[in-house]
Amino acid sequence: MSVRDDRTTRRDPLVYLVLVAGLVLTITPFLVMISTSFTDQSLVLELPPKLLPADPTTRNYTDALSSSGFALYFANSAVVAVATVAGVLLLSSMMAFAFARFTFPGKSVLFGALMAALMIPGMILILPQFLVARDLGLIDSRLGLVLFYIGAQLAFITFLLRGFFQSVPKELEEAMELDGAGPWRVYWNLMLPLSRPALATAAIFTFLGAWDEFAWALTIINDPDKRTLPIAIALFQGQYSTSWGLVFAASVIAVVPVIVIFVFFQRHFVSGLRSGALKG
């Protein structure tokens, strides 16, 4: 099990075998989902289940896309998620830098507080958070979504980045300091560029967290025009019956941007260290 990524291992059939086998298990549920999303509702619970719909229809997609406000919810989700990613990356990377590179009084306590926030079930905080949001005048605003999404993800991303920052070699930093660079320049010009895989990972996670969030969006948003996608999808579930085809079609649509973000950011999984910084 080599971690090398050079040419000698390129055509290892066993690797493909394992990967494809795993892939079958991984994507079969999706195939069911996609197949269902192209199936007319009366056929949904069919035995045996079919991976290819016998009589495919795109009606669920056209229904989902044309249902009131779907495009708007989509845009709201995108704006909120991107703003959350920006906020979290900036604030968390600064905190992670402090935790990774400095010793200072109160460090363990502050770090412990962050960790505790990672562990407490977010659901129980909803009522107290709602009161904070109300006092800040953030009920029914997208800013209220962004601010609390940032808060909810800060701890996790700080924890993630701290580890990566710790591994950036001291020598680079010392070299910069000898040139007269202060900590802010070290952070901005050295730490961030060298941590591209970590920041990409953080961006992927943060985007997903905000894109997917349901409970908080349900709680503080009243105005239908400010709703996000998870709420819109939940609206397809009825009191007595659910249009599975519609729910799955909407979910397939919702997955697309996250995959795009993933493909975009995973290009940065080439280490800043590996791409020559150490040798350069």
Radius of gyration, alpha carbons of the chain: 23
Whether the CB-CB separation of 198 and 208 falls below 8 Å is answered with no
Which C-beta is closer to another protein: that of 71 or that of 143? 143
CA separation for the pair 34, 12 (Å, rounded) = 31
For residues 79-100, b (16+ Cβ closer than 10 Å) or e, as one string? ebbbbbbebbbebbbbbbbbbb
Q: Among residues 55, 131, 276, 279, which is the contact residue for another protein, using CB under 8 A?
A: 131
In three-state secondary structure terms, 34 is helix
| Contact status: 75 vs another protein (CB under 8 A) | no
The answer to whether residue 234 forms part of the interface with another protein (CB under 8 A) is yes
Q: Does 253 sit near another protein (CB under 8 A)? A: no
Q: Work out whether 273 is an interface residue with another protein (CB under 8 A).
A: yes
| 2 contributes a contact to another protein by CB under 8 A | yes
The correct pick among 38, 196, 210, 228 for binding another protein (CB under 8 A) is: 196
- Name every residue whose Cβ is closer than 8 Å to that of residue 244 and which is 6 or more positions away in sequence: 36, 41, 44
Residue 25, interface with another protein (CB under 8 A)?
Answer: yes
Of these, 54, 58, 175, 269, which contacts another protein (CB under 8 A)?
Answer: 269
The answer to whether residue 33 forms part of the interface with another protein (CB under 8 A) is: yes
| DSSP secondary structure string for all residues of 173-218 | HHHHHHTT--HHHIIIIIIHHHTHHHHHHHHHHHHHHHHH--HHHH
Q: Which of 39, 162, 210, 228 binds another protein (CB under 8 A)?
A: 162
List 200, 228, 279, 280, residue binding another protein (CB under 8 A): 200
**Rule CB under 8 A: is residue 210 a binding residue for another protein?**
no
Does position 56 interact with another protein (CB under 8 A)? The reply is no
Please name which of 193, 191, 177, 226 lies closest in space to residue 98, comparing C-alpha atoms. 191
Position among 61, 236, 276, 279 found at the interface with another protein (CB under 8 A): 236
Q: Is 280 in the site for another protein (CB under 8 A)?
A: no
Dig out the tokens for 23 from the structure.
Answer: 């892939």
Is there a contact between 107 and 99 (Cβ–Cβ < 8 Å)?
Answer: yes
- 209 makes contact with another protein (CB under 8 A): no
In the complex, what is the shortest distance from the CB of residue 56 to another protein, in angstroms, rounded to a whole number?
18
| Binding residue (CB under 8 A) for another protein from 55, 109, 123, 280 | 123
Distances from the Cα of 206 to the Cαs of 19, 120, 154, 155, 254, in angstroms?
27, 18, 9, 11, 16
Q: How many residues bind another protein (CB under 8 A)?
A: 173
**Per-residue binder mask for another protein (CB under 8 A), 82-121, x = binder:** xx-xxx-xxxxxxx-xxxxxxxx--xx-xx-xxxxxxxxx
